[in-house]
Amino acid sequence: MTMAKPFAGSPIANISTNVATAWPNRYDAVVFLAVGALFAGIVQAARWMHQPLASLDLHPVSLDPWNLPQYALLTTLRMFAALGLSLLFTFLVAPLAAKSKKAERLIIPALDILQSVPVLGFLTFTVLFFIALYPGGEFGAELAAIFAIFTSQAWNMTFSFYQSLTTVPGDLDEAATHFRLSPWMRFWKLDVPFAMPGLVWNMMMSMSGGWFFVVASEAISVGDTKIMLPGIGSYISLAIEQQNIGAIVWAVGAMAVVIALYDQLVFRPVVAWSDKFRVELVAAQAKPESWVLDLIKRARLFSAIGDFVGHLLQTLSGSVSHLSKQIPDAPKVSVATGRLFDWAWNAALLVFAGWALWSVYSYVHAAVGWSDLGEAVASGFITFFRVIVLIAVASLIWVPIGVYVGLRPALAERVQPLAQFLAAFPANVLFPFVVVGIATFHLNPDIWLSPLIVLGTQWYILFNVIAGASVFPSDLSESATLYKVKRWQWWRKVMLPGIFPYYVTGALTASGGSWNASIVAEVASWGDTKLEAHGLGAYIAKATAAGDFHRVVLGVGVMSLFVVLVNRVLWRRLYALADRRLRID
């Protein structure tokens, strides 16, 4: 009996040929040991996450530093699970907003609102839901924590991908049309590669943003519901509660080690790999490097398996593309019919918005009065002023630094882990020093707590500017040098227009994130000393701690209204300017 041979050129034939000639070498041994250790760690962490909920009371979070490796593994697994969900959300939602004007009218305002809703605002309404899915089990609380981290990661990735899709160079767009690429092939062959450099830097920022809110995500406290999931975030929360400076130092050190590890093992290889998607006519003189990527390339058997998986995915992608071409085009409609559809869609959106506002009003009106609304709006204006001033200051500082770093790949490699660590640094860790300093010198909390708002969000500007500068076409840079463009003119005519779409994405997400961070930054405590600044974040924090859902909804609703208005008046117009006048063609 003879077995049928795979047809020539198939992925099966390729792998059988490649593996036969690709004997494992010492690099394969290192790679497979690393992959095995990774899977062993994931399996062990998954076992810990599936324990009964009562085990959290039997084995509470301990400040023993020997527990930090286990806590770090659990926190990192939650972070990457949330990052995977964020990436899936980005690939599903951003193309809809970029390709359909009707969908854009719904999705972009929804994203504006969602990025402004504080993590505690999501936890207030989702903790009980997730726990009810797995009654008595820890996994429901794990899902609540992962979802909370997801809400701190997804929005800037989605905005980055959306910005890239709306600024694809015209010649590439025409080439895709000329070669009759199906929507599926266009997405994977044009849209994703063009957006990849900016998306990768925003993924790094999302991981750091998740660290910034990891305390609220793992030390869940909503009304009478209090859950401490084992992790670095709950470790920090307990250390702050017990005023244990030594434990805080241990936790920060563990964070630094974890960030350095996943920077070297995950993000630096991805940054080096994504450099091939730069849009330029002249090859860049310096390219980012990664020892992990070099190691993988030298592993013969692992490379052969990777080639097989790539061929298989390409074959499946081609099949999906072929099927998509079989779908008949939508029938063309007349101009009058199109306008009628637009009017109907806009009317439906208005009805939905009206229903949502009425639902919020009906829920809130039963327990709060006009004085509460006035307090929330006045607090909103105070936080609004803080956010605008801090974003302006952060832009003046980080745009020049981001351009300087982004134009120098070797420097970017050294700065990358440091920037991730600084962006991940939780504001709660600084509370002891800030609270003691303010109390000792009798300073005004309204002023001196304000920098905590932008502590974690200013990095959105830096990361996006670095991404924009790193993919700035080398031919344009060389042309500016050839024509001896002077410094100020170089900024105004060359670099600022080149990075402008990336800056808008960074500033927009930094603005929304600052509103989000205000709930953590406007109320700070250390032991029995508690400081509170006036603002909407403090209003929501107090309502959440008291389990007052009506005032939580009122505060989140007012915050969402502020963010939507600012984005519509300012950031959306800048997006339109970038698409209309600053597209690289």
pLDDT tens per residue across span 155-189: 889 988 998 888 887 778 888 888 877 788 888 88
Compute the 3-state secondary structure of the chain and give helix, strand, coil in percent, each to the nearest 5: 80, 5, 20
| 24-278+285-320+345-581 CATH fold | MetI-like fold (1.10.3720)
Q: Mean pLDDT throughout 453-468?
A: 84
Q: How confident is the model at residue 582 (pLDDT cuts 50, 70, 90)?
A: low
Higher-confidence residue: 80 or 60? 80
Q: How confident is the model at residue 214 (pLDDT cuts 50, 70, 90)?
A: confident
CA nearest neighbour of 234 among 46, 449, 74, 371? 74
* Structural domain boundaries in the chain: 24-278+285-320+345-581
Q: Mean pLDDT throughout 226-240?
A: 84
Cα–Cα distances in angstroms (integers) from residue 550 to residues 117, 125, 188, 286, in the given order: 15, 12, 45, 56
Q: How confident is the model at residue 1 (pLDDT cuts 50, 70, 90)?
A: very low
358-409 pLDDT, tens digit per residue, is 877 777 776 777 778 888 899 999 999 999 999 999 999 999 999 999 888 8
Per-residue pLDDT, 560: 82
The Cα 511–Cα 419 span in angstroms is 19
Compute the mean pLDDT over every residue in the chain, rounded to the nearest whole number: 78
Looking at the predicted structure, is the pLDDT value of residue 89 above 90?
yes
Cα–Cα distances in angstroms (integers) from residue 171 to residues 174, 176, 243, 283, in the given order: 5, 9, 60, 18
Per-residue pLDDT, 392: 92
72-83 pLDDT, tens digit per residue, is 988 999 999 999
Per-residue pLDDT, 581: 67
Looking at the predicted structure, is the pLDDT value of residue 31 above 60?
yes
339-352 pLDDT, tens digit per residue, is 676 677 777 777 87
Per-residue pLDDT, 6: 45
Per-residue pLDDT, 242: 82
Q: How confident is the model at residue 3 (pLDDT cuts 50, 70, 90)?
A: very low
Least confident of 244-248, 261-265, 478-482, 526-530: 526-530
Segment holding 133, helix H or strand E: helix 119-133
Check if the beta carbon of residue 13 is closer than 8 Å to that of residue 307. no
499-547 pLDDT, tens digit per residue, is 888 898 888 888 887 887 787 778 877 667 778 888 888 888 888 777 7
Q: How confident is the model at residue 458 (pLDDT cuts 50, 70, 90)?
A: confident
Residue 5 DSSP class: P
Per-residue pLDDT, 5: 46
Per-residue pLDDT, 310: 67
Cα–Cα distances in angstroms (integers) from residue 125 to residues 409, 544, 548, 553, in the given order: 44, 11, 12, 10
Per-residue pLDDT, 328: 55
108-149 pLDDT, tens digit per residue, is 888 877 776 666 556 666 777 787 777 777 778 888 888 888
Per-residue pLDDT, 57: 61
Q: How confident is the model at residue 321 (pLDDT cuts 50, 70, 90)?
A: low
**What single-letter amino acid sits at 81?**
A
Least confident of 5-19, 103-117, 230-244: 5-19
Q: Mean pLDDT throughout 226-246?
A: 83
